[in-house]
Structures are given as structure tokens and as C-alpha cells.
Structure 1
Amino acid sequence: MRIIRFLNANSVPVLGALTDQEEIYLLPYPGFMELVKEAEERGVTPLRLIEDSIAGTQPVEEVLEDLKLLVPIVAPEVWASGVTYEKSRDARNYEATGGKAQEATCYDKVYDAERPEIFFKSTAARTIGPNDPVYLRSDSQWQIPEPELGLVLTETGKIVGYTIGNDMSCRDIEGENPLYLPQAKVWKNSCSIGPAIRLAETVEDAYNFQITCRIYRDGQLTVEGTANTAQLKRKFVELVSYLKKDNELFDGTVMLTGTCIVPPNEFTLQDNDKIEIEISTIGVLTNPVKVQQQARELA
């Protein structure tokens, strides 16, 4: 069972349950976390609450492709983990040294360290949903998407759902100096999540999500890569334990868990590219790539 948000015929955001048969049922809750809280208060699982809510009702007439999908959750904060896959470590080393590293870098050290890399990625205002454009940063010449599995968390750090995230990144800015990481990661429309939330209780093995990223240019497939969460160096509970350590979590926080798909080193995103990130049993997150109008005006 998956949860989606979309605009109804009156352009009002509504919550829906998306079955594995692609049927969509309206839910009487304003948001995903309200559903989770209601289930907790009733002493049932979110899946059971949904099944009770839609029993005896009919699915909506529209199919998923006809809906104006929104972010499946208005996450108050999005955090991200870095260097959680070996390929991510290698890519960061290439950025920092031009492929000429002769000794261990900070990325090698954090890959093997007890403490993971965790950084702040986005706020609700900077986070977009399916089919909305991600923006290119005007002061970077080497930008890529980072397809990642996202964890939807309660304020206690419990994982209640899984979603898809695109952690847009500027490889040249981070490669120039690791201290520039916030600028390499955070700007307007630099994070997208969606199109749905897969209920955690319906996932048999969270370390067997198949991830695929496709980038199209002028309608042609230009980059394609695949990975599996089985390749993760760290466990999700480990990442969450460090995120919540001496920190305050808000209901609906999303934590991105790192990437194992990195485009070729000579590749950079361009205006009008299209990014598709697919994760098995969750869906496909699609976003066009755009240059910000402000960037055009300053050029």
C-alpha cells in the first residue's frame, strides 16, 4: 500500500491510498502523519486503518497518470546521509582529487568511521514533488542528480514509510572544498521527493529495493544506472540513531540514505533534461531540469 497526495477537481490537496492494483481511494486525513497518529491512537497499524477507511468505498475514476501529484508529505525537514555506498565514496574522491588521490581522504575516513556523514538537505519550501522542475545552480558547472531511498520518520525516529528522493548536487563546489558542502547541496528546488510513500509495514526487505536512474536529453536516454539498497554500507537504524542524537526530530522528517548511482564524470545536467528515479514497489519520481529565471537575468 502506498500513500499519495494530489489536487482534486477543486484544486484542493487530498490524501489517497494507492493499491498495488493501481486503484486510488480517497482518505479522510489531511496528511500522512495525521494518518499515522490516528492509527497509533487507535492501537492499529496504518495499513489496518487505511483498509478500514476504504472498506465499502469505490476508487476514484482517475488513473494515477491523470492526477496532479504533490509531494506525498510536506516534510518539515529533509536530512541526508553521504558516503554510505562504496561508489559514492569513490565519486567524492574523484571530485576532490581529480582521480589522483595518493592517500586516504576525508571521504575514505568517513566511509570507514563509526560516525556517518549526515547533513541538512532541505526545508518544506525548498522541496518539490513529482513533475515539478529541479533547478540548476548558477555558480556550478558540474551538477548531477543523486537518486536515493528516503525514510519517513516520526518524532521518535521510527521509520513509518519509504519514498524516493533526488538529492541534487554540485560536484565541482563540493570538490573544491568539503566545507562548501551546504552550498553544493542546498538551493531553491534542489530536492524532490515522491511520488508516493510505501508503508513500512508492507515492505518485506528494505535492503532489497532496486533503484534505477534515467536521464533524458532531447528525448533520448543519455544516462542510466541501477543499484540496490543491499549495497549500503550502513543500516537505516544506525543512520537514524545519529540523526536523533541530541537532536529534535519533527513528525514527517525525511532522511535520504545516500546514492550508489553516479553519472559518468564528464556528465553534467543541462536545461530541459528530464530525470527519472524509479524504486521498486514505490514508483517513479520524474522531474524536468530548469535554469532559474534569476540565473538567466544575471547572466
Structure 2
Amino acid sequence: MIELTSETLLPADPSAQLLGRVWSNRAGGPVPVMVDGDRLRDLSQIAPTVAELLNMTDALPEAGHLPDLGPLADYLSGGAAGHLLAPNDLQVVKAAGVTFVASMLERVIDERTGGDATRAAALREDLRQAVGGQLESVVPGSAEAQSVKALLQRLGYWSQYLEVGIGPEAEIFTKAPVLASVGAGADVGINRISDWNNPEPEVVLAVNGQGVIRGATLGNDVNLRDVEGRSALLLGKAKDNNGSCAIGPFIRLFDAGFGLEDVARLKVSLTVLGEDGFHLEAASRMDLISRSPADLAGQAMNRSHQYPDGFMLFLGTMFAPVQDRDAPGRGFTHKPGDIVTIHAPELGRLINRVDYSDVIPEWKFGITDLMRNLALRGLL
């Protein structure tokens, strides 16, 4: 079990407005909560779901006026009161892919190697020499991007990943079913069909049913590189399996002290600690993103595509690990027991343990279960 504390999980700013969910043993179900110092306050009498809370136009009440659920510590690391859940519930979980040049080039490598990690290092060097420097400042969809596309086609390096990386249309895909995301402290899963996989540390926007971006949190878009590399049509299998989506620990709501402009400046760090002694550290800088968060949210939801209960949007990552773990030239891949920590001082820490998707707890609490549970508790 991962040892979690309030000090390690919460943002550095004590004034941050934090919205989340816990499983309450006393209530016998999920409870939307607001963090009040080191304690949790019950929001379920205001609205039974986080999706509805984010859809409300009225400001949330002061935490001190809400029922006290007890110390946050009682919901961490096997606490007697319950455990943390992902802070989203009825929102669709979407993800924007290929939004950073570094990760875009790695996706091209996945494709051209057919998912063979042993061929990645040589192709990575060839690709960077051919096109790497030309892509750093290209604005997706611009005339300059079209010129770069023509050059790459002449060089024989054009790819579907470059199309969504610098073309006018962003890649927006569904990452996980509603209620399938896991929260801080839970196990994340990798499918046994994969021998080359990695975490993807990302900022995740919380967008309500009117398309208003209400806040942000952290996410781990667990990715099977070799599976997607064999065929882009396997994207669903590479991205969505039991426990492959972690979100949390809490949604930091936008207010006078934190907004979308702050999201654009975030630095998201990643640490992987393996039971074999392996240690990896990396970072992803939001100021290097190719498309703005607002543009990505607008491409996900617009007049042609609505989400009445809102959506969570992974914004992509520049992180694609190349550090060798087992043998030279094979790069990084997960092993069971890895502890993955994703951190931004403004948003806190999302900490999860890695295991196989057929070993970690099954996902058994779906939308029908939630509706039945809320009805039995008199919340519907």
C-alpha cells in the first residue's frame, strides 16, 4: 500500500479551492468533497455529483458551512473512514494527443518501428537530424505548418502523428469510460500484451456541460507504446484498460488566484521508482505545448459535439522516456511495483502503483451502481 499524507498530496498554496471525491465507509458510497485545511467537507447535499457541482452557476458555499467528514488523513493509505476516488464522476474522459513536439516525434518512432523498442534509438537520431529543429516553433494549422508538411513528405517522413501534431485538427480521443478513472493511491494497470509502455504525466482540465473550464488537476494517461505502434487502430486497446487512467488528487477550481493562464505556465514533474532500484525523473513544461489549452477544449466540445455532464480533458505531455532500463537500446518500460509520482506545486501530487491490469482490483462500480447508491441514500 502506498503511504499517502496530506502534506505530500495537497498543493503548496493553502488558499487553493480543491474539489474531489471520496468513498465514505459511513455513507456507503461516493461523496463529493471540498478540502478545508487538513479536513474534508461534504458537498452531497448541495449536489450529489461533481459533474453537477461544476455545472452550477452559483459559487460553492464556504467550506466552514458544510458538514465535516473528518480529517483527510482518515481517507488515505487504508484509513478507517474510506479512500480517495478520482475527482471526476459523470464527466466523459477525453484526451488530446500529440500536443508537444517531443512526444510527437516519439509517436512517429512508435509507428515507423512497428512497436519494436530495439529499433527506436537509431530512428530517433535519424528523425531528429532530418526534421527535429524545424518543428519547435511551428503553429499547428498555419501556412508555415503546411510548408513543413510538404518538406517532410518529400523526405519520406510524413506520418499520421505529424498530421495531428501540426495540422489544423487536434487529436481528441476518449481515454476512459465514465467512472472508470482511479484516484491517488490506487493501482494503475498495464495490459500483459505490452512489453513497451510508460506513464504520461499530464494536466487535466475540468470542463462543465456549458464548455466552461472550471479547474485543473493531474493525470496519468498510461500508454502501451508497442501496441499503438503496431497500428493506430489499436489506440483504444493501447489507452483504455483496467486502471489505465489515473486522475487527481483533487480538482483545483479556478478563482482570482489561479486560472487558465497559470495552467499554461505549469511544470509537471514525473518520478518513477522501481522495486528493482530503477529511478527515473523527468518533467513536462506546459509553455512548450503546441496548441493552447483553450483551443484543445474548444476542439473537444463545440456546436458539433456536446457533453451535458461535462468532460475531463488530458492536455498531452512532452514526456516520452528513452532512458534504458533493462538493456541498451530498449528504452524504458514499466514493471509491476513501480511507484509513479506526478507533481505540480500548484496542483499537488498524484501517486499510483503499477501492476498488471488483470491483477489490480476490477472496475465494478458503474453508472447504474452510482444512481442506485445515490437513490438509496436519498440524494436523488
Distance 1:110 1:36 in 2: 30
- Residue 80, structure 1, aligned to residue 95, structure 2: yes
Q: Is the 8 A contact 1:80 1:120 kept in 2?
A: yes
Instruction: Identify the residue that residue 203 of structure 1 maps to in structure 2.
Output: 258
Partner amino acid, structure 1, of 2:317: T
Distance 2:175 2:348 in 1: 22
Residue deviations 1:259-286 (CA, integer Å, cap 9, x gap): 1122226110111111111123221111
Instruction: Identify the residue that residue 109 of structure 1 maps to in structure 2.
Output: 163
1:186 aligns with one of 230, 240, 247: 240
2:317 aligns with one of 259, 268, 275: 259
- Residue 286, structure 1, aligned to residue 296, structure 2: no
Unmatched runs of 5 consecutive residues or more in structure 2: 1-16, 113-119, 128-155, 324-330, 361-380
Instruction: Identify the residue that residue 14 of structure 1 maps to in structure 2.
Output: 31
Secondary structure of 2:54's match? helix
Greater displacement, 203-212 / 21-30: 21-30
Unmatched runs of 5 consecutive residues or more in structure 1: none
Secondary structure of 1:183's match? helix
Secondary structure of 2:70's match? coil
- Residue 162, structure 1, aligned to residue 178, structure 2: no
- Residue 34, structure 1, aligned to residue 32, structure 2: no
Instruction: Identify the residue that residue 60 of structure 1 maps to in structure 2.
Output: 70
TM-aligned CA deviation for residue 149 of structure 1: 0.7
TM-aligned CA deviation for residue 185 of structure 1: 1.2
CA RMSD of superposed structures (Å): 2.5
Q: Is the 8 A contact 1:150 1:256 kept in 2?
A: yes
TM-score, normalised to structure 1, is 0.86
Q: Which aligned runs of 4 or more in structure 1 are off by greater than 4 angstroms?
A: 55-59, 64-67
% identical aligned pairs: 26
Higher strand share: 1
Secondary structure of 1:267's match? coil
Distance 2:315 2:206 in 1: 11
Partner amino acid, structure 1, of 2:203: L
TM-score, normalised to structure 2, is 0.69
Greater displacement, 158-167 / 238-247: 238-247
1:241 aligns with one of 292, 298, 318: 298
Instruction: Identify the residue that residue 40 of structure 2 maps to in structure 1.
Output: 24
Distance 2:251 2:220 in 1: 14
Q: Is the 8 A contact 1:76 1:123 kept in 2?
A: no
Distance 2:188 2:198 in 1: 11
Instruction: Identify the residue that residue 91 of structure 1 maps to in structure 2.
Output: 106
Partner amino acid, structure 1, of 2:340: I
How many residues of Structure 1 are paired with residues of Structure 2 in the alignment? 286
